[in-house]
Structure 1
Amino acid sequence: MIAYLKGTLEYAGVDSLIMEVNGVGYKLAVPSSTISRLPTIGNEFKIYTYLQVREDEMSLYGFISKEELNIFEKLITVSGIGPKGALNVLSTLSPKDVYMAIISEDIKSLTTVSGIGKKTAQRIILELKDKIGAVVEMDVDEFKTSSFEANSIVEDALFALTSLGYKRAEAMKVIREVYSEGMDVESIVKGSLKKLATL
């Protein structure tokens, strides 16, 4: 199983991308909402993956965050919702919106997704409400924390600091204090080390 890929972006379409990893080009189907969150062509990034294997083909699906991957894996267990349907859901709604729609039985929100009618929305709620109960009990701050940690740049900076011997909780606290939109891994690590040295 391929858990994630890390490489350079070679092409980005409406709902798919091609990335090069160690000289191999991988084509991934992605939620259309993912495209605007990708780096520019030629830059490195990390993407979480789901591999679907059939008798005659293999399909690879990509997700910027673990939350997206988790809800995708749950959605495809619903009767009548295949990978394409699950991608449509994530192209329209954020993982948090999907969780909240299911737990609050908000059929109206789910039917804003192309291809999802009232009966399908009801089936999604019926089949997933119990499965995601523990997840949606997270409050908004906890959800934001998990989303922040799922940021690939933050993840790489966190890995670098923990590799240097710092505790994960301590490193994440400092990263949160120094991080600002647009920073690269090196800048985050340098800023974090400077702050850690004063503690």
Structure 2
Amino acid sequence: MIGRLRGTLLEKQAPEILIEVNGLGYEVQMPLTSFYELPELHQETIVYTHFVVREDAQLLYGFITKQERALFRLLIKTNGVGPKLALTILSGMTAAEFVTCVERDDIATLVKLPGVGKKTAERLLVEMRDKLKSLMEASQGSEREFVLQTEYKPAPVANTAEEDAISALLTLGYKPAQASKAVSAAFEDGIDSESLIKAALKSML
């Protein structure tokens, strides 16, 4: 089991990154809420990981904190929720926002996420309520708990901001027309890729 990586951040293409650890490059998929907190390229970073082995692939999912990884692990234990859908959920909202949805039985917000139908949302609300209570109690005293405080300063804007944003949304399961419309609506001069992705996701919730 690979539970933690500490190395140099070589590539960032939401939602995937490449980390070099002792000469080996690890491809890691991250929810966008964690992706936003990464340092700039070629700097050292620490990522907590969850390793998934399938018949056709071996996949690493990464998170900035252990609490975020713990929430991901609880999500994939929910009936009908696999790693890809869990990644989409944690990309569409922060962990704190997800907790709020559960506490308020907010089905309307959950079903706006790609791949989350009404039945899946209902299962999430029912099955996650007690699990989240235990997780929140376990994280008491943690400096971060479920509050994500972004310290990452985005790099200068590239000409491919719109393309990067659309690509990230497509990877998360949004339809091409839906992704293009949301990105176009959120785009403004000078905006960087990550801010554009955030704005586009927010507009769809």
Place the TM-score, normalised by the shorter chain, in its bin: 0.5 to 0.7
* Partner Cα separation in structure 1 for residue 145 and residue 76 of structure 2: 22
Asked if structure 2 preserves the Cα contact closer than 8 Å seen for 1:99 and 1:136, the reply is no
Asked if structure 2 preserves the Cα contact closer than 8 Å seen for 1:103 and 1:133, the reply is no
* Partner Cα separation in structure 2 for residue 89 and residue 127 of structure 1: 15
* Partner Cα separation in structure 2 for residue 108 and residue 37 of structure 1: 28
Q: 1:46 — aligned with what?
A: 46
CA displacement at 1:100 relative to structure 2: 2.2
Larger relative contact order (C-alpha < 8 A, sep ≥ 6)? 2
* Partner Cα separation in structure 1 for residue 145 and residue 2 of structure 2: 21
* Partner Cα separation in structure 2 for residue 76 and residue 61 of structure 1: 12
CA displacement at 1:49 relative to structure 2: 0.1
> Alpha carbons of 1:143 and 1:81: their partners in 2 closer, same or farther (altered >3 Å)?
farther
CA displacement at 1:70 relative to structure 2: 0.9
Aligned residues: percent identity?
A: 37
Of the three residues 119, 141, 146, the one matched with 2:144 is: 146
Q: 1:95 — aligned with what?
A: 95
CA displacement at 1:31 relative to structure 2: 0.9
Given the two structures, how large is their TM-score scaled by the length of structure 2? Answer: 0.65
Equivalences for 1:48-127 in 2 at 5 Å? 48-127=48-127
The structure 1 segments of at least 4 consecutive aligned residues displaced by more than 6 Å after TM superposition are 148-151
> Alpha carbons of 1:73 and 1:148: their partners in 2 closer, same or farther (altered >3 Å)?
closer
* Partner Cα separation in structure 1 for residue 106 and residue 132 of structure 2: 15
Q: 1:33 — aligned with what?
A: 33
Q: Which amino acid aligns with 1:130?
A: D
**Residue aligned with 1:27, SS:** strand
> Alpha carbons of 1:37 and 1:8: their partners in 2 closer, same or farther (altered >3 Å)?
same
* Partner Cα separation in structure 2 for residue 60 and residue 117 of structure 1: 26
* Partner Cα separation in structure 2 for residue 56 and residue 100 of structure 1: 36
Given the two structures, how large is their TM-score scaled by the length of structure 1? Answer: 0.67
Let me know the Cα RMSD of the aligned residues: 2.7
Q: 1:158 — aligned with what?
A: none
- Compare the two structures and name the one with the higher helix fraction: 1
CA displacement at 1:59 relative to structure 2: 0.6
Asked if structure 1 preserves the Cα contact closer than 8 Å seen for 2:4 and 2:49, the reply is yes
> Alpha carbons of 1:112 and 1:149: their partners in 2 closer, same or farther (altered >3 Å)?
closer
* Partner Cα separation in structure 1 for residue 113 and residue 21 of structure 2: 33
Q: Which amino acid aligns with 1:89?
A: I
> Alpha carbons of 1:114 and 1:144: their partners in 2 closer, same or farther (altered >3 Å)?
farther
